[in-house]
Every structure is written in structure tokens, then in C-alpha cells.
């Protein structure tokens, strides 16, 4: 039985992990006969967004503690991640990837990446183990690995940022997966396109399915 590490970035599309993508990733791993552990960095969220108004709320929340809501409490700090213990690594999307795991939402191609996220990706890359990323998360992979082919769907600005970081962007539609065999990187657009929840289900199922072919 293969074991995935799933990295969350909070709990809610506008300031954390996109909830449907995170849930569908866990489901897809289970449907493909594999198991998972869930991780998140133990850091403060960049900010807290009221998901009705879109406005910032005057409070602080912790990425690990909020991610634990999606994980039903079964979560560990990303500092405890050890590549040797896992067959694959995967990042659901949501603005948390661009605000908490990296500063991409603010700094674009000049962003910085959380050091634990960087180490996790580099360790898996070194071991030639599959790395998956949904939605906006591929920008984090591109920032870390540089010369890698990924997809974030069809957004020209984000695609351009990926190219500036040294990556190659492939335009895709709902549920399609871009596979970079040389880097063992697997990406799918999900809510970077105007998608419904069934299309997210398909995207998560497909990206995990592609990763499974190499396990």
C-alpha cells in the first residue's frame, strides 16, 4: 500500500487550503488504494479573510490548527515530514499555497517559499518520488524546482510568472493532468478554472491516478 503526504495551508479558499480540493485529494488517494498522512506548517496565516465579504478580519489563525479541521485532528507539523517515509507528496490548492506556503500572491515570480515546504519538495525530488500539485500550488513547485513543466490551467498572468521562474506552462482544461516525467511532477488546474465540484473531483482523481502509475 502506497503512502502519500498531503500538505495543507489552512482551511478556506481565500486564506488557506481550498476545501473541496483538499477533501477530493484525500478521497482520490483512498479510491486509488493508498493511504495518507496530513501535514501543515506550524505558522500564522498571512491573514484571515471573511469568505462572504472578501474582507480581512481582525484576528490571527494558525495554519496547522486550521488545517486540522480538514484533517479531523489527524495532522502533524510539516517539520516532522521525512521523505523516506512516503511514496508521494501532494499539495491541494487554495490561496493558502500563495499566501502561507509562499508569498506568490504578493510577490509573484520573486516570491519566497516556506523553508519546510522547500525541503519537502527538494527531498522528494532528490528521491525521484512523485510530487503532485493542484490549482495554484504548481507555482510553489515551479519556484522551488525552476526548470519544470506544470499547468495552472489557462490564466495568462500566472503562466507568465511560471515562465519567469524558469518553468514551462502547459495550457489545460478541466480534469487534465500535466506530467513532467523528468521531475516526477504532476499538476492539474482545478479551481484555477471556472469549475464545479464534480470537475474538482475528476481533477483530483486524475492527478493521483497519474502519480500512482509511477508507484
Q: Does 206 bind a second copy (CB under 8 A)?
A: no
Q: Name which of 197 and 215 has its Cβ closer to a second copy.
A: 197
Q: Does 171 bind a second copy (CB under 8 A)?
A: no
Min dist. Cβ of residue 72 to a second copy (A):
5
Cα–Cα distances in Å, from 146 out to 10, 149, 182, 206? 25, 9, 13, 24
State which of residues 85, 112, 196, 215 lies at the interface with a second copy (CB under 8 A): 196
Q: Does 73 bind a second copy (CB under 8 A)?
A: yes
Q: Does 65 bind a second copy (CB under 8 A)?
A: yes
Q: Which three cell numbers stand for residue 207?
A: 492527478
Q: Does 20 bind a second copy (CB under 8 A)?
A: yes
Residue 115: alpha-carbon gap to chain centroid: 15
Q: Which three cell numbers stand for residue 15?
A: 486564506
Q: Which three cell numbers stand for residue 128?
A: 525521484
State which of residues 1, 58, 59, 194 lies at the interface with a second copy (CB under 8 A): 59
Min dist. Cβ of residue 107 to a second copy (A):
25
Q: Does 128 bind a second copy (CB under 8 A)?
A: no
State which of residues 4, 39, 186, 201 lies at the interface with a second copy (CB under 8 A): 201
Min dist. Cβ of residue 50 to a second copy (A):
6
Angle, alpha carbons 13-213-202 (nearest 5°): 35
**φ/ψ of residue 33, rounded to 5:** 80, 15
Q: Name which of 1 and 84 has its Cβ closer to a second copy.
A: 1
Q: Which three cell numbers stand for residue 193?
A: 478554472
Residue 93: is it exposed, middle or buried by C-beta count within 10 angstroms (0-12/13-18/19+)?
A: buried
State which of residues 23, 103, 154, 206 lies at the interface with a second copy (CB under 8 A): 23
| Cβ atoms of 145 and 184 closer than 8 Å | no
Give the integer Cα–Cα distance in Å for 62 and 25.
22
Q: Does 2 bind a second copy (CB under 8 A)?
A: no
Q: Does 105 bind a second copy (CB under 8 A)?
A: no
Give the integer Cα–Cα distance in Å for 9 and 40.
6
Hey, which residues are catalytic here? 135
Kindly list the residues in this chain that would bind a second copy in the complex (CB under 8 A): 11-14, 16, 18-20, 23-24, 26-27, 30-31, 50-52, 54, 59, 64-65, 68-73, 75, 191, 196-198, 201
Amino acid at each position: 500500500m502506497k503512502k502519500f503526504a498531503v500538505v495543507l495551508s489552512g482551511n478556506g479558499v481565500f486564506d488557506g487550503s481550498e476545501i473541496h480540493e483538499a477533501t477530493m485529494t484525500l478521497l482520490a488517494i483512498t479510491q486509488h488504494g493508498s493511504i495518507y498522512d496530513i501535514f501543515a506548517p506550524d505558522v500564522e496565516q498571512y491573514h484571515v479573510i471573511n469568505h462572504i465579504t472578501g474582507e480581512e478580519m481582525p484576528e490571527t489563525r494558525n495554519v496547522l490548527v486550521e488545517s486540522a479541521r480538514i484533517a479531523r485532528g489527524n495532522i502533524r507539523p510539516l517539520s516532522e515530514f521525512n521523505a523516506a517515509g512516503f511514496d508521494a507528496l501532494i499539495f491541494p490548492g487554495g490561496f493558502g499555497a500563495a499566501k502561507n506556503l509562499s508569498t506568490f500572491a504578493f510577490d509573484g515570480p520573486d516570491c519566497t517559499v516556506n523553508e519546510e515546504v522547500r525541503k519537502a519538495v527538494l527531498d522528494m525530488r532528490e528521491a525521484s518520488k512523485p510530487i503532485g500539485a493542484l490549482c495554484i500550488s504548481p507555482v510553489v513547485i515551479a519556484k522551488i524546482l525552476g526548470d519544470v513543466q506544470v499547468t495552472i490551467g489557462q490564466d495568462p498572468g500566472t503562466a507568465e510568472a511560471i515562465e519567469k521562474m524558469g518553468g514551462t506552462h502547459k495550457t489545460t482544461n478541466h480534469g487534465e493532468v500535466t506530467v513532467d516525467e523528468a521531475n516526477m511532477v504532476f499538476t492539474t488546474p482545478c479551481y484555477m478554472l471556472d469549475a464545479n465540484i464534480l470537475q474538482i473531483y475528476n481533477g483530483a482523481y486524475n492527478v493521483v491516478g497519474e502519480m500512482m502509475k509511477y508507484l
